[in-house]
Structure 1
């Protein structure tokens, strides 16, 4: 069996997982983790994201939850530290609001992440297949239009050639003295006049 040269190794998967987990713990985005991993592995960030969502994430689900928990704890500790610099008696509403904001942002981030991961690999592959079919259809349409354009161009050149030839013949007839002269009568019929 041939092994693809661009196949993912276990080492590549571990590097991808560790980078994503680090970014989650630090409060960064997975997209940045995919960019960083792509640079290290000489792959696109899209390939890293696809690999993470399709294969690697399931193996590290527990560690992802743990990294998110660490991030929450770190953010709360940071918020508490900032709150310690403020007089709690004067700014109790600020502390409540800050906790609400943190909780809201954490919930929103989790919702966005779930929405992204709910899109299955099959759905993504169907969308890719659909886009490829659309591309082929458009390429066929372009090819047909090019053929029609070429035919119209040939017809146009033929008409121009015929008009030029008719013009040349008309000019030649004007220079040759004509012995026959015609006139149109009232009924629209041509009658020959004798000179």
Structure 2
């Protein structure tokens, strides 16, 4: 029997580390900040927490990490959308509704101040930055990982099935051989 180290990681420590890191990912914070938070709670160094996460825990929580990243992306989109809506509240209605080729006409009819134009351009940039590509990429990566896992499981099951058939075949042959010897 091997003795546990006094400073060995308990199951509860691992859960605290995983929950904290996943929360930080979801909220758009860094993993380093999560390691520091856990280090304070467990009287360990942040380096020890980071090592434990990267060497052991992260592998067990791959799907959860991907979901946390996806949630972070959605939250960023919502924030960008609300920020762009706030910018629109300060813009003249003519600019909001004007197609790009008619902006000059609108500007000639009613001059705008520079701040309104800057706000408008920033809101256009925010709308452009908020696209579904990043969310689809994250989902695609998650599905690829799930597919790899399912394929590995299928290969293991196939190998186990073949081994079982070989064992049954040997047993059948031994039984037939034993019967043959008895009859002789």
The two structures have a TM-score, normalised by structure 2, of 0.52
Question: 8 Å contact 2:13–2:42 — kept in the other structure?
Answer: yes
Deviations 1:115-171 (A, max 9, x none): xxxxxxxxxxxxxxxxxxxxxxxxxxxxxxxxxxxxxxxxxxxxxxxxxxxxxxxxx
1:82 aligns with 2:107: no
Equivalent position SS for 1:18:
helix
The residue number in structure 1 matching 2:125 is 97
Q: Which residue is 2:40 aligned to?
A: 39
Q: Do structure 1's residue 2 and structure 2's residue 11 form an aligned pair?
A: no
Q: 1:26 is matched with which residue?
A: 27
Structure 2 unaligned residues grouped into runs of 5+: 97-116, 139-184
Q: How does 1:107-122 map to 2 (within 5 A)?
A: none
Q: Which position in structure 2 is the counterpart of 1:66?
A: 67
* Count of paired positions: 106
Are the structure 2 counterparts of residues 36 and 102 from structure 1 closer, same or farther at C-alpha, using a change threshold of 3 Å? farther
1:189 is matched with none
Task: Determine the C-alpha separation between the residues in 1 that align with 2:23 and 2:52.
Answer: 17
> For residues 86 and 72 of structure 1, do their structure 2 counterparts lie closer, same or farther at Cα, with a shift above 3 Å needed?
same
Q: Residues 116-135 of structure 1 correspond to what in structure 2 (within 5 A)?
A: none
State the shift of 1:2 in Å. 1.0
TM-score, normalised on structure 1?
Answer: 0.49
The 2-side partners of 1:22 and 1:65 are apart by 12
In the superposition, relative to structure 1, how do residues 5 and 100 fare at CA in structure 2: closer, same or farther (>3 Å)? farther
Higher relative contact order (CA 8 A, sep 6+): 2
Structure number, greater radius of gyration = 1
RMSD (CA atoms): 2.5
Judged with a 3 Å threshold, the aligned counterparts in structure 2 of structure 1 residues 21 and 98 are, in CA distance, closer, same or farther, namely same
- Contact 2:25–2:69 (Cα < 8 Å) also in 1: yes
Q: Identify unmatched segments of 5+ residues in structure 1.
A: 111-195
Q: CA deviation at 1:85?
A: 1.5
Higher helix share: 2
* Change over 3 Å in CA distance of 1:102–1:30 after alignment to 2: farther
- List, as ranges, runs of 4+ consecutive aligned residues in structure 1 with deviation greater than 3 Å: 90-93, 99-103
CA distance in 1, matches of 2:36, 2:130: 26
